[in-house]
Structure 1
Amino acid sequence: MAVIKSNSNSNTSGKPSNASLQALTAAALALPGLMLPPAQAADDEFGVQYGHYQEGGRNLFGVESKFSPIEVDTLQGSGNIKITDRVKFNFNYTQDTWSGATPISTAPLELRGNRTATPNTVTGATPIINGDLYFDSAFNPLRTDGFGNLTGGVNRQLVHTMSSASPETRKQGDFKLGYEWDEAAVDIGGGVSLENDYESRFVNMGGRMDFNQKLTTLTGGLSYTSSDTKALLDHDALPYIDTNAYAAQITVDQAGGKTLHGERQDWAGHLGLTQVLNKNALIETGVGYTFSTGYMENPYKVVQVAFIDPNQQFLAPADGYFANVQALLEQRPNERNQVTGNVRYVQHIDAFDAALHFNYRYYHDDWDINAHTFEADWGQPLGQGWSVTPRIRYYSQDAADFYIPYLISKQAYASGDFNRSKLPANFSSDHRLSGYGALSGGVTVSKQFTKGVNLDVGFEYYTHAGALKLGGGGEGDYTDFDYFMANAALKVNLAALSSAVGGAAHNGHHHHHYGAHAPAGVMFDHMMDKQGDIMVGYRYMYGNQAGDTLHGTHAVSDQSIVNNGCPGTEGCGSTPLEMSMHMHMVDLMYAPTDWLTLMLMPQFMDMDMKLRELAGAPAESEEHHHGSGHATGGVGDTGMYALVKLFDMPGHHFHMSLGFSAPTGDVGIMLRPAHHEDPGFIHYGMQLGSGTWDFKPSITYTGELDKWSWGAQVSGTKRLESQNKSGYALGDIFQTTAWGSYSLLNWLSASVRGIYTVQGTVRGEFNGPHADHGPMDFPSNYGGRFWDVGFGLNAFVPSGDLAGNRLSFEWIQPVEDDVNGYQLEREGALAASWSYAF
């Protein structure tokens, strides 16, 4: 018998999904319940929601991991627009940033190298996953002292080998255009999902037909997805992993990096039926089918194979075997047929004015995975716009027929030479393909502030364990872990708001500030008109740096950067090639009096930096490769402000804002470098916040006359702490700006603005390991003096269902950069804002 499957309590399976990031899965197998569902928007409704996923630590049985568990920050924006009475347009944008450690393989705890001999196997950046094992005559692993010396007895305990990657970001956009008849509807849509190592593009179409006086509804749809994997294989792991099974799919770049390429296609269809049973109850049923073909593997997962030479001598213990353990990239079938069925029952309970929802979903595929999902929730209104929805969820699945924690093969292994035909055709130790159950409970609290504005806040806690599998036989406790999700969503229904406020009064309410609003890039530019007024808004800011590296105001050569850009070192090895920043902010404003407006501004941001190797560098960097890049994303700092009226008369207005920025953005993000024992802090400019409490005052003047409006503002940022928890503080900021605006139409104005900004250097430095490879790694290369000019458009809807909505755009063009130290020049920035007051 060429292959013997390990008999150590080993059966699990992975829930199919569509997310794939470097640290987790380019094979599109995501954790159950991880992704936020697309927002279901009503006509002319817009929404934004934020979610945070956090895993608990894995049980490594006495070995301490230096890696943080997986965490994911998700931002989703959505909208549903009624173009005409029958034409609807829907869009969604989703962005995930993943970081932390994930298992790349499973092995017996006694594998030499998984304990004190080389603890970096599960704790450091280098996943040394090969080694020696000893088995008894029944192929049970024998105990050792961690250095390969037998101590007697059997130890069947398995353990995950953990590995961590630098943060990765996925961005997905999709749309749907639909047409509705009185008793039918049809829609078409599509979208794209992009990551550094994975891309997918999809199209879909669907329809709906109503029967029986709209008491019965039939729905259906078809979709097609094309996916491409381009996975840069782990440079540290490559010396220890056999990749020969995919030799035809691997390309090698000039720096020696290996990229595995794979293509995949998915065809899917579904049918659904909804039946209203009575005035208080309805039932929904559905069935779906998906056929997938192509590259199904996760390129970052391996299976460890214990090769036992049948002719071994001297090394084997008495009545036992010596095994040479090697890691092979997992191999999955290149086809998959998946079938799902679901039923949903909704019952309104008059006595409590509540609704009970019950859902069951069954999943089956030809990988032998059978999965069951049971969900129930209770929606309970509490009065005054409040409601609460507790829920419970249970998920269970069988193991894939090719899942195995590790393999035993009775053949010799010598420098990559072995008989592959003696191994199974397919094998994977991915714990998501094992048998397990997941039990979760959560609650969502909702508040309707006025008709058309809703805020939802939710929390859900999960327990993932092999022992929770239906019927037993799940994977061992080494795969057990807990995780939680927290999210918040703000939804604004513009049609409902317009109806609630009232047409004529609504229009007059907004007219006063029509000409006086500042360009999109100016914050704290206006106050609310009256006591009790509320405004909701959204701001987006994009900035890009590319081109030359500057010293002061002048471009410099690579050799100058090498010699002077990294003080205290032998010379710089790389420099930024391009850096982009995206910032999403929610504006929430409330006026408790007519002279005071309070403002809350949470934000979500992501950044991406690409690097290039410097000509004349002393040696190739140990931290970066040519053309490498980094991405970060998540919650930024949260602003809390009070705007106070100083002077107000027709045509002229003065106010000041006093506020603080709370350090909610992460300043401890780590970069997984190449050939380095430990992860280190990513560059100062790639952290998500300041890490300090910051005082942010401003004073603003605005004026208007006929079709003209103008304004000026002076603002600043003062860091209130000398250093943050990572050992440094960003420089203080002073900014002054002035603008003028002219009304081109009764709903559209154009603006021109000048901006001058001064920012100090970073004070202090990281208090932990960090790279010193390029100018971006040194505090002296931050800040400077900057001159810009902005060109903007400001649109206001004066009447109709969308009356009162304001949309502004501004392009900010750099005029001159006078930077501290050595920095990449700025190319420009875009600011956009939407607001609605009521």
Structure 2
Amino acid sequence: MQRKEAVVVAIKASKGNGHKLPENASLLALTSAALVLPGLFSPLANAAETDEVDFQYSHYQEGKRSISSGIIDPVSGDNTVAGIKNTFNPIEVDSLHGHANVTLTDRIKFAFNYTQDTWGGATPIATAPAVFGGNAELVSADGLTVVGATPYLQGFNQVLLDSKLNPVQFATPFDPTSGLIRNNQLSHTLATASPETRKQGDFKLTYEWDEVALSGGGGISVEDDYESRFGNIGGRWDLNQKRTTLNLDLSYTNSDTHATLNHDTLPYIDIKAYDLRGQIDTLSSVADAQILHGNRQDWGTHFGVSQVLNKDALMSADVSYTRSTGYMANPYKAVSVVFIDPGQQTNAPPGGFEGRLKALLEQRPDERNQWNLGGRYVQYLHNLDAALHFDYRFSADDWGIQAHTFEADWVQPLGSGWTVTPRVRYYSQDAADFYTPWLVSQQAYKQKFDAKGHAVGLSYDPGKLPANFSSDQRLSGFGALSGGISVTKRFAKGLSLETGFEYYTHQGSFKIGGGGEGSYADFDYWVANAALKVDLAALSLGGGSIANAHAGHTHFDHGGQAPAGVMFSHMLHQAGDFMVGYRYMYGNQSGNMLHGTDPVSDQAIVANGCGLNPCFLRPGSMTMHMHMLDLMYAPTDWLTLMLMPQFVDMSMSMGALNGAPDPQTVLDFNLSQHIPHHIQSGHETGGIGDLGMYAMFKLFDKGIHHVHATAGLSAPTGDVDIQLARNHQVDGGFIDYGMQLGSGTWDFKPSLTYTGQLDQLSWGTQANGIVRMDSQNKSGYALGNLFQATAWGGYNLTHWLIASVRGIYTLQDSIQGQFNGRINQFGPMDYPSNYGGQYWDVGFGLSAVVPSGDLAGNRLSVEWLQPVEDKVNGYQLERDGALSATWSVMF
């Protein structure tokens, strides 16, 4: 991945049943602990020993950076000890991870991973001496706080150097007679980004013999500006009665960068070197967007050996090699260069130089060879019923980076199903040979233009610069120390909840041997996570309801199985029953813009879609993905409780409206610059949504007929204050209403459901609603109330497969109120009156249950919802359809 400054970290908590193990089980516990102690997710699917399904959510949060360790007070001339502070929000990442491992036959196993990250915030893109003023448009009265917008990589003051090329400034600004003050303090230049999302899916298929296993897999990782495809093959060989295990893996990755360069930075960053190589494309159809493209290939091999030393100890070692070729630079990182023109030194200080500050896109080598060597030792401690886990890893490459990693974990069962795992980790690396915070080049920077006024050729002699250079702090010398703790609770056989927290600090002074980067680049972050894990094999062996399922029926089949898109459709039958499920929903809008039921032209939208203001943009498409967990428990046979956390991500593309006025004649210049950005990049959001809490009450249950009522509350845990990136001096403002992650209000969600079943036929009907219990959320508005009625019928095609047809009517009010902060109203999606309406749909579904075997009782359902008619409020994009898919299993 190219853009992210932060590596998304997910802490995976350890296993532990909380009971003292018998002698013959201690080695199994030891091995399990070694496999699942807290750490990073593997980029490839790993086949587990047992069938399992798990879901994990994590949140990464950086601290706000002090982007310089000090700055000269321009009035007093004192070198203050405080650093430059910034007003930009730091990086935040919301991550969702799902994993499944299933035994297809006695010898064939299938594993699948899905990971999704949504991030936004400010990240460094370059470094320069603080006295150059490259970070600030305006400095506050105390001389310390950056209150303007970045990225500006040229200072508005003179760039002055002394005879030894140290940065200097006049003691009194603009007064050459006041004397010079030297200040070598460095400062980051930050750039902000609107939210964006990366999605990755990968799989692995394994075939096992008695002592040998072969596996193969692959996957893809996709984001707006980067796509990576990878494949791998591997083998495992067990020796010495499985006390010794050898592993060999080969992998190949092919990655493409297609980054839209920030139009804000193009006046300041020279991209001509890449343009002359043919890596820059100009898309005149998308506001003259500059696209940098490149390809990278990685070949890797890994060999590992693990050895059981005795019944309480395990040791392993591994070595790996990776060769990378192609484009390996980050398209959003630049290096500040001071060009000293020998012929233009009239304003130079005595004995010193004046220069022109420019920024060049970083240039990294197009080849890299990396080696890694690691070892692990795990010791089970009988007296404490605990396991100690220690790792060391050394890595080196031909870029000059050498790194050491030390990590230790302590896995401690506490009884009653509780396990706690504290963890500490230390990392240190040397800087890359070509790492440099900034450069000085004694040559003129002279732009050349063609007859049409377009810049052509290089404005400098590349031979007077290093062949490769980067100021990316991840290539600098630094050390990092982190500590964390994870807690696991096993609620029932096969079901566990895991939570974790980790704090990390990155400092140049932590580097082994010293000589790390300056304190201007120090930062810290924390990560919190929660995970739910279902061990399907343990459920099967435990003789629970899965093992006792018969003929494709389980306790919650009363009234037949409802289509996948119907929520709150069934209760648990017996007191003490527990069910866990996963629900996925997808919706898409594209095509015509509607007013009521009729398509409308661009000219009509321009004139009427934005109230008294003209419209400039319209949505081209909008896609929504929602992931939900269904956690159900029956304390009695007439009451079922349900908890439903959810994770949401959405994307919207934008298009210009034909006939719209020139935005610069209606808006100010800086504000009008947002419109090309909307067209180039669209909008993305993602993260945790609102949390649903429900109680279902049995009202009637006689033979073929069943009636129950649901009373629910939705807690406002989803963000409703997501904003776009700042542009020049203009705040990006709120992203539009439909792209926020929740309602922001406490919502009452009642429903009444009737279901019936006779022989092969099943049917049902439901009425449900959403009532907003607050007049407005913290951002100043409230979504409209909703009413929905649905009816369906199903037929058992076989004893394990049901087909269904459903009709749905939905009525939703428009949004009340409006954002209480800045929102740039460029299109219909930015106005509350253009939300809500009446909708008619028909659904087609299938529902299947595993009838026998270890996975008996696992149910999968899918339903496609096809729009029949839309009657929208105001001006809205028509709907294409929606997909619902569910998985569930009961204990």
Unaligned runs of 5+ in 2: 12-38, 69-82, 448-457, 664-671
1:20 corresponds to 2:2:
yes
CA distance in 1, matches of 2:788, 2:733: 33
Q: Match for residue 260 of structure 1? A: 292
- State the match for 1:492 in structure 2: 534
Structure 2 Cα separation of the partners of residues 63 and 475 of structure 1: 17
Between the aligned partners of 1:290 and 1:782, the Cα distance in structure 2 is 52
Judged with a 3 Å threshold, the aligned counterparts in structure 2 of structure 1 residues 783 and 64 are, in CA distance, closer, same or farther, namely farther
1:99-178 aligned at under 5 Å gives the runs 99-115=120-136, 117=138, 124-131=148-155, 132-144=158-170, 152-178=180-206
Q: Does 1:310 align with 2:342?
A: yes
Q: Secondary structure at the match of 1:348?
A: strand
- Note the C-alpha offset of 1:755: 0.9
Counterpart of 1:607? 650
Q: What code does the residue aligned with 1:336 have?
A: R
Q: Is contact 1:121-1:129 (8 Å) kept?
A: no
Once residues 783 and 753 of structure 1 are traced to their aligned partners in structure 2, the CA distance between those partners, rounded to angstroms, is 22
**Structure 2 CA distance for aligned equivalents of residues 114 and 263 of structure 1:** 32
Q: Secondary structure at the match of 2:433?
A: coil
Matched, 1:780 2:833: yes
Give a deviation string over 1:683-710, Cα, whole Å, max 9, x none: 1101111111111111111122222222
Q: Aligned residue for 1:545?
A: 589
Deviations 1:660-690 (A, max 9, x none): 1111111111122656622211111011111
User: Mean Cα displacement is larger for which, 150-159 or 417-426?
Assistant: 150-159
Deviations 1:139-177 (A, max 9, x none): 222245796556642211111100011111111111111
Alignment of 1:453 with 2:495, yes or no, is yes
Q: 2:404 aligns with which of 372, 392, 406?
A: 372
- Residue matched to 1:219: 247
CA contact (8 A) 1:805 1:834 kept: yes
What is aligned with 1:183? 211
1:338 corresponds to 2:381: no
| Contact 1:498/1:506 (<8 A) preserved | no
Q: Report SS of the residue matched to 1:239.
A: coil
What is the CA distance between 1:93 and its match in structure 2?
1.1
Q: CA deviation at 1:65?
A: 2.8
Larger deviation: 766-775 or 221-230? 766-775
1:707-786 paired onto structure 2 within 5 Å = 707-786=760-839
Aligned partner of 1:4 in structure 2 is none
The letter of the residue matching 1:476 is G
Find the aligned partners of 2:174 and 2:572 in 1 and give their Cα distance: 73
Worse-superposed segment, 93-102 or 29-38: 29-38
The equivalent residue for 2:571 is 527
Q: Matches of 2:252 and 2:147 in 1, distance apart?
A: 41
Aligned CA distance change for structure 1 residues 266 and 277 (closer, same or farther; 3 Å): same
Q: Is the 8 A contact 2:734 2:821 kept in 1?
A: yes
Moved more, 556-565 or 792-801: 792-801
Structure 1 contact 121–128 (Cα < 8 Å) conserved: no
Q: Amino acid of the residue matched to residue 773 of structure 2?
A: L
Partner of 2:454: none
- Decide whether aligned partners of structure 1 residues 649 and 676 sit closer, same or farther in structure 2, where only a CA change above 3 A counts: farther
Q: Which amino acid aligns with 2:460?
A: F
- C-alpha distance 819-149 of structure 1, shift in aligned 2 (>3 A): farther
- Residue 58 of structure 1 is matched in structure 2 by 65
Of the candidates 553, 562, 574, which is equivalent to residue 606 of structure 2? 562
Contact 2:694 2:713 in 1 (8 A): yes
Range with greater deviation from structure 2 (360-369 or 620-629): 620-629
- 248, 251, 269: which is aligned to 2:281? 251
User: Separation in 1 of the partners of 2:638 and 2:563?
Assistant: 23
Q: Which amino acid aligns with 1:208?
A: R
For residue 797 of structure 1, report the CA deviation from its aligned partner.
2.3
Matched, 1:285 2:288: no
Match of 1:78 in 2: 99
Distance change >3 Å, CA 670–CA 148, structure 1 → 2: farther
Q: How does 1:771-810 map to 2 (within 5 A)?
A: 771-810=824-863
Q: Tell me, in whole angstroms, the C-alpha distance in 2 between the residues paired with 1:341 and 1:146.
A: 55
Contact kept? 1:613, 1:627, Cα under 8 Å: no
Q: Write the letter of the residue equivalent to 1:421.
A: G
Between stretches 376-385 and 143-152, larger displacement belongs to 143-152
Deviation at 1:260? 0.6
1:648 Cα deviation (Å)?
A: 2.1
CA separation in 2, counterparts of 1:573 and 1:665?
29
Mapped to 2, the partners of 1:323 and 1:726 lie a distance apart of 47
CA contact (8 A) 1:117 1:147 kept: no
Q: Could you tell me which residue of structure 1 aligns to residue 393 of structure 2?
A: 361
Match of 1:10 in 2: none
Instruction: Provide the C-alpha distance between the structure 2 equivalents of 1:832 and 1:773, rounded to a whole number of angstroms.
Output: 35
Equivalent residues of 1:126, 1:677 under 8 A apart:
no
TM-score, normalised relative to structure 2: 0.88
Separation in structure 2 between the aligned mates of residue 512 and residue 808 of structure 1, nearest angstrom: 14
Offset, 1:252: 0.5
RMSD of aligned C-alpha atoms?
A: 2.1
1:69 aligns to 2:90 (yes or no): yes
Q: Is 2:10–2:41's contact at 8 Å kept on the other side of the alignment?
A: no
Q: Which amino acid counterpart does residue 563 of structure 1 have in structure 2? A: A
Match of 2:118?
Answer: 97
The aligned residue for residue 24 of structure 2 is none
- Paired with 1:53 and 1:145, the residues of 2 have a C-alpha distance of 42
Residue 261 of structure 1 deviates from its aligned partner by 0.9
The residue matched to 1:324 in structure 2 has which SS?
strand
2 CA distance for matches of 1:754 and 1:504? 32
Q: Distance in 2 between matches of 1:208 and 1:113?
A: 55
Residue in structure 1 matched with residue 35 of structure 2 by the alignment:
none
Asked if 1:597 corresponds to 2:640, the answer is yes
Alignment-derived partner of residue 622 in structure 1 = 673
Separation of aligned partners in 2, 1:581 and 1:477? 42
Distance 1:837 1:80, change over 3 A: same
- Residue 691 of structure 2: aligned partner: 638
Is the CA contact (8 Å cut-off) linking 1:121 and 1:161 kept in structure 2? no
Q: Which moved more, 1:767-776 or 1:399-408?
A: 767-776
Partner Cα distance (2:173, 2:341) in 1:
21
Q: Measure the CA separation in 2 of the matches of 1:690 and 1:566.
A: 23
Distance in 2 of aligned mates of 1:236 and 1:65: 19
* Distance (Å, rounded) in 1 between the aligned partners of 2:337 and 2:109: 55
| CA deviation map 1:312-359 (0-9, x unaligned) | 433111232212111111111111010001000011001111111000
> 1:309, 1:697 → 2: CA distance?
74
1:66 and 1:468 map into 2 onto residues whose CA distance is 27
CA distance in 2, matches of 1:512, 1:130: 67
1:806 is aligned with what amino acid?
Answer: R
Residue 463 (structure 2) aligned to one of 398, 421, 427? 421
Mapped contact 1:109–1:115 kept (Cα < 8 A) = no
CA distance in 2, matches of 1:810, 1:607: 20
Pair 1:198–1:778, CA change in 2 (3 A)? same
SS of the residue corresponding to residue 500 of structure 2 reads strand
SS of aligned partner of 1:560: helix
2:182 partner letter: V
| Distance across 1 between alignment mates of 2:232 and 2:715 | 43
Q: CA deviation at 1:213?
A: 1.2
Give a deviation string over 1:187-243, Cα, whole Å, max 9, x none: 111111111111111111000111111111110111111111101111010011111
Determine if contact 1:729/1:764 at 8 Å carries over to the other structure: yes
Looking at structure 2, the residues matched to 607 and 815 of structure 1 have their Cα atoms a distance apart, in angstroms, of 23
The one-letter code of the counterpart of 1:501 is G
For the 8 Å contact 2:10–2:58, the answer to whether it is kept is: no
Which secondary structure state, in structure 2, belongs to the residue aligned with residue 238 of structure 1? Answer: coil
Q: 1:127: Cα distance to partner?
A: 1.3
Task: Note the residue ranges of structure 1 that are not aligned, 5 or more in a row.
Answer: 1-18
Tell me how far apart the structure 2 counterparts of residues 31 and 123 of structure 1 sit (CA, whole Å).
31
Query: Matched residue of 2:674: which SS?
Result: coil
SS at match of 1:567: coil
Aligned residue pair count = 815
